[in-house]
Amino acid sequence: MTQNPLRPLNRKAFTLIELLVVIAIIAVLISLLLPAVQSAREAARRAQCVNNLKQIGLSLHNFESTNNFFPPSAIKSTGNQPSMGINVDTNGAALAKGRSRVSMYMFVFLLPYMEQSTLFNAYNMKLDVRDPINSTVIATQINTLMCPSSPSADKFHTYSTTDTWTRQTYTNVKFAISDYAVNNGIEDGLITSGYVPPGDYLSMLFNTHSSSIDFKTPIAQVTDGLSNTMMCSENAGRPYYYLANGRMAPTQNFSEGIAGGWADYATGYTTHGFTLDGSASPGPCHTSCNNNNETYAFHPGGSNHVFGDGSVRFIKTTTSMKIFAQLISRSNGEVVSSDSY
Give residue-wise pLDDT tens across range 267-299: 989 999 999 999 999 999 999 999 988 999 999
Is 300 a member of any domain? Answer: yes
Is 21 a member of any domain? Answer: no
In this model, does residue 312 exceed pLDDT 60? Answer: yes
Amino acid 38: pLDDT: 59
Opening angle at CA 186, ends 320 and 56, nearest 5: 90
Backbone φ and ψ for 228, nearest 5 degrees, come out as: -110, 10
List Cβ neighbours of 339 (8 Å cut-off, separation of 6 or more). Answer: none
Max CA separation in the chain (angstroms): 117
Give residue-wise pLDDT tens across range 171-200: 999 999 999 999 999 999 999 999 999 988
Is 89 a member of any domain? Answer: no
- AA letter at 66: T
Q: Which residues pair with 314 in a beta bridge?
A: 304
Is 34 a member of any domain? Answer: no
Give residue-wise pLDDT tens across range 45-73: 999 999 999 999 999 999 999 999 999 88
DSSP string, 224-284: T-GGGSEEEEEBTTTTS-BBGGGPBPSS----GGGS-BTT-GGG-EEE--B-TTSSSSS-S
Selection from 295, 260, 39 nearest residue 146 by Cα: 260
Whole-angstrom distance, CA of residue 180 vs CA of residue 198: 27
Is 321 a member of any domain? Answer: yes
Eight-class DSSP state of 71: P
Give residue-wise pLDDT tens across range 139-156: 999 999 999 999 876 789
- Distances from the Cα of 98 to the Cαs of 92, 93, 95, in angstroms? 11, 11, 6
Mean residue pLDDT of the chain comes to 85
Is 24 a member of any domain? Answer: no
Q: Is 47 within 8 Å of 55 (Cβ atoms)?
A: no
DSSP string, 129-182: TTSGGGHHHHTS--GGGS-TT---S--EEEEEEE-TTT--EEEEEEEEB-SEE-
Q: Which domain holds residue 246?
A: 41-67+141-161+171-340
The terminus-to-terminus CA distance of the chain in angstroms comes to 89
Q: Is 284 within 8 Å of 223 (Cβ atoms)?
A: no
Give residue-wise pLDDT tens across range 74-88: 888 766 677 777 766
Give residue-wise pLDDT tens across range 294-307: 999 999 999 999 99
Report, as an integer, the average pLDDT of 156-167.
Answer: 84
Is 122 a member of any domain? Answer: no
In this model, does residue 202 exceed pLDDT 70? Answer: yes
pLDDT range class, residue 93, cuts 50, 70, 90: very low
- AA letter at 124: N
Full-model pTM: 0.84
* Total count of domains within the chain: 1
Whole-angstrom distance, CA of residue 243 vs CA of residue 90: 43
Q: Is the four-CA dihedral 212, 217, 223, 228 of positive or negative sign?
A: positive
Whole-angstrom distance, CA of residue 154 vs CA of residue 239: 8
Is 109 a member of any domain? Answer: no
User: Percent of the chain at pLDDT above 90?
Assistant: 53
Amino acid 92: pLDDT: 45
**Cis bond upstream, residue 72 (ω within 30):** no
